[in-house]
Amino acid sequence: MAMSVELPALEQIAEQVTAAPRGTAVTRLSRHAWPMLGLVLPVGLALGWELAVWLGLSSGRLVPPPSRVIVTILELARSGELTRHVVATLSRVGLGFALGVVAGTLLGAVSGYWSLARRLLDPTVQALRAIPSIAWVPLFILWLGIFETSKVALIAVGVFFPVYLGVMGAILSVDRKIVEVGRIFRLSGPAMIRRILLPAVLPAYVVSLRVGLGLGWMFVVAAEFMGASEGLGYLLIDGQQLGKPAQIVAAIVIFAILGKTTDWLIEIATAPLLRWQDAFGHERGA
Partner 1 sequence: MLALERVGKTYPNGVEALARFSSEIAEGEIVAIIGGSGCGKSTLLRAIAGLDRASTGTVTLDDEAIAAPHAKIGIIFQEPRLLPWLSVADNIGFGLADLPAEQRRHKIAQALARVGLADKAAAWPRELSGGQAQRVAIARALVPQPEVLLLDEPFSALDAFTRRDLQDHLLDLWADTRPTLILVTHDVDEAVVLADRVLVMRPRPGRLFDQIEINLARPRDRNSPLFETFKRSVLASLDRSLDRSVPDREAALGPGQAMWW
**Contact residues for partner 1, defined by CB under 8 A:** 177-178, 180-181, 183-186, 191, 195-196, 199-200, 202, 275-278
Cβ atoms of 166 and 108 within 8 Å: the answer is: yes
Return the SS3 of 266.
helix
Smallest separation (angstroms) from partner 1 to the CB of 175: 9
Report which DSSP code applies to 285. T
Closest to partner 1 by CB, 58 or 277: 277
Smallest separation (angstroms) from partner 1 to the CB of 280: 12
Closest to partner 1 by CB, 78 or 176: 176
Based on DSSP, count helices (H) and strands (E) in the chain, helices before strands.
13, 0
Return the SS3 of 163.
helix
83: region left, alpha or beta (phi > 0 left; psi from -120 to 50 alpha): alpha
Smallest separation (angstroms) from partner 1 to the CB of 49: 47
Smallest separation (angstroms) from partner 1 to the CB of 283: 10
80: region left, alpha or beta (phi > 0 left; psi from -120 to 50 alpha): left
How far from each other are the two terminal CA atoms of the chain, in whole angstroms?
A: 53
Closest to partner 1 by CB, 11 or 180: 180
Smallest separation (angstroms) from partner 1 to the CB of 186: 5
Closest to partner 1 by CB, 103 or 187: 187
Phi, psi (deg, nearest 5) at residue 172: -65, -30
Count of other CB atoms within 10 angstroms of residue 137: 18
Smallest separation (angstroms) from partner 1 to the CB of 237: 46
How far is the C-alpha of 121 from the C-alpha of 4, rounded, in Å?
82
Smallest separation (angstroms) from partner 1 to the CB of 285: 16
Q: DSSP characters for 117-134?
A: HHHHHHHHHHHHHTS-GG
Closest to partner 1 by CB, 22 or 176: 176
Closest to partner 1 by CB, 117 or 192: 192
Closest to partner 1 by CB, 183 or 260: 183
- CA 102 vs CA 33, 52, 153: distances in Å: 40, 49, 13
